């Protein structure tokens, strides 16, 4: 998972006044939608197609925008939600041993009311850590104790809410070597297995435990390293249930349907549950052309289709649905428009490509 954006950077978004949602716009040949057609929500269609859910990440900075929240917690569109920032370590344990669930609960509570599922994200990640972790020279026993205490408290706080936890996030480099995070440097690679052991110790048995990463949506050095991690865990009976494919794509450079099917099969053959956990497709240049919008729609469609067709891909989560909340422009200046709804809450071609594919 990439950083969606800092709360400060996006604070002004909450004041956006958007135009009413527009019509369906253009979509590809063979579409089922007419001007007066009915549009079952994406979660409704995903379930009909055999998936457990179609979901979205939700960020705290726009929770006072009622048009945003009415879509975010519309169960027909999104049967599952992920707090994009509120469960990360810098917000949940800003001081050692001092826990704060406010940001997470701002999303979890409305999801409970709407009867949406919640994917919880994330116990361990090298980014968005509080300064007290990053700027202290820990001994190995100290940091192991801190890791267990953090997972214990957060797991127990949300024990009734999480269908799955992203236990460890982005532990590998592109070449398949271990990323040299503070946890790796102090504890060694065993921090990953310790995190999964602690997660299993403190979460209900029904909660699925995931490893989550980006650029593992094709068979490559990084995804093969994750597969080896899974095999090692299985040999030594370390708990792991699933692999999250973040699926942050770029128009013109997204993997093909078959490439995504191949990597899902690799993990399914290891008896891993798979989910697309953070799907978005960014435009590499702005403003985009109509042709680029169609390419974006095709990339979205192929990703969701691969999950639909894979043996054990359970669902798709988009990494927010509204362009102004996307992490992309803050990380890749000059790029963006990565989501399914545009600035004015109009559904894009990508929405209808997904909808039509699921209806088929």
What stretches of 253-289 show up as alpha helix (H) in DSSP? 257-269
- Digit-coded pLDDT (tens) for 121-170: 999 999 999 999 999 999 999 999 999 999 999 999 999 999 999 999 99
What are phi and psi for residue 185, nearest 5 degrees? -65, -35
* Inter-residue contact 1 to 166 (CB < 8 Å): yes
| Domains identified in the chain and CATH numbers | 42-358 (3.20.20.80)
Strand partners, 303: none
* 95 included as an active-site residue: no
The active-site residue, picked from 77, 170, 217, 298, is 170
Which position among 93, 154, 278, 298 bears the catalytic label? 278
Is 278 annotated in the active site? yes
Token pair recorded at residue 271: 């008896």
Distances (CA, A) of 258 to 184, 262, 305: 34, 6, 10
pLDDT for the residue numbered 26:
34
pLDDT in tens, 18-64: 333 333 333 343 344 444 456 799 999 999 999 999 999 999 999 99
**pLDDT for the residue numbered 39:** 75
* Mean pLDDT per 10-residue section of the chain, whose length is 360 residues: 43 33 36 55 98 97 96 98 98 98 98 98 97 95 98 98 98 98 98 98 98 98 98 98 98 98 98 98 97 98 98 97 97 98 98 96
Residue 295 and residue 350 in contact, taking contact as beta carbons nearer than 8 Å: no
Query: DSSP label at 33?
Result: -
Judge whether 100 and 92 are in contact, CB under 8 Å: yes
Contact 299/249 with Cβ under 8 angstroms? yes
Nearest-CA neighbor of 84 among 322, 341, 306, 337? 322
Tokens of 26: 């253009």
Q: What is the pLDDT of residue 27?
A: 39
């Amino acid at each position: 998972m990439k950083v969606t954006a800092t709360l400060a950077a996006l604070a002004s978004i909450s004041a956006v006044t958007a135009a009413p949602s527009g019509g369906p716009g253009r979509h590809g040949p063979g579409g089922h939608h007419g001007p007066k057609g009915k549009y079952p929500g994406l979660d409704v269609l995903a379930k009909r197609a055999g998936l457990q859910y179609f979901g979205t990440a939700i960020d705290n900075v726009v929770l006072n925008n009622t048009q945003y929240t009415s879509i975010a917690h519309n169960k027909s569109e999104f049967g599952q939600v992920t707090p994009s920032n509120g469960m990360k370590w810098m917000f949940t344990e800003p001081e050692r041993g001092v826990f704060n669930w406010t940001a997470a609960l701002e999303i979890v509570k409305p999801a409970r009311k709407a009867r949406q599922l919640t994917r919880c994200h994330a116990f361990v990640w090298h980014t968005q850590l509080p300064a007290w972790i990053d700027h202290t020279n820990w001994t190995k026993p100290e940091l192991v104790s801190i890791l267990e205490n953090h997972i214990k408290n957060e797991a127990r706080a949300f024990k009734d809410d999480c269908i799955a936890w992203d236990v460890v996030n982005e532990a590998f480099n592109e070449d398949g070597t271990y990323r040299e995070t503070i946890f790796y440097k102090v504890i060694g690679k065993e921090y990953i297995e310790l995190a999964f052991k602690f997660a299993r110790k403190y979460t209900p048995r029904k909660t699925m435990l995931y490893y989550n990463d980006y650029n593992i949506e094709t068979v490559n050095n990084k995804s093969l390293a994750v597969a080896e991690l899974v095999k090692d865990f299985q040999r030594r009976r370390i708990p792991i249930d699933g692999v999250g494919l973040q699926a942050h794509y770029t128009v013109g450079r997204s993997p093909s349907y078959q490439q995504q099917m191949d990597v899902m099969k690799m993990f399914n053959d290891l008896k891993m549950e798979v989910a697309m956990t953070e799907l978005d497709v960014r435009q590499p240049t702005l403003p985009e052309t109509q042709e680029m919008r169609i390419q974006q729609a095709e990339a979205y469609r192929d990703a969701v289709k691969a999950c639909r067709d894979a043996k054990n891909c359970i669902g798709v989560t988009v990494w927010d649905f509204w362009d102004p909340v996307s992490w992309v422009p803050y990380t890749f200046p000059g790029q963006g428009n990565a989501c399914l709804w545009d600035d004015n809450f109009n559904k894009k071609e990508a929405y209808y490509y997904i909808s039509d594919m699921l209806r088929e």
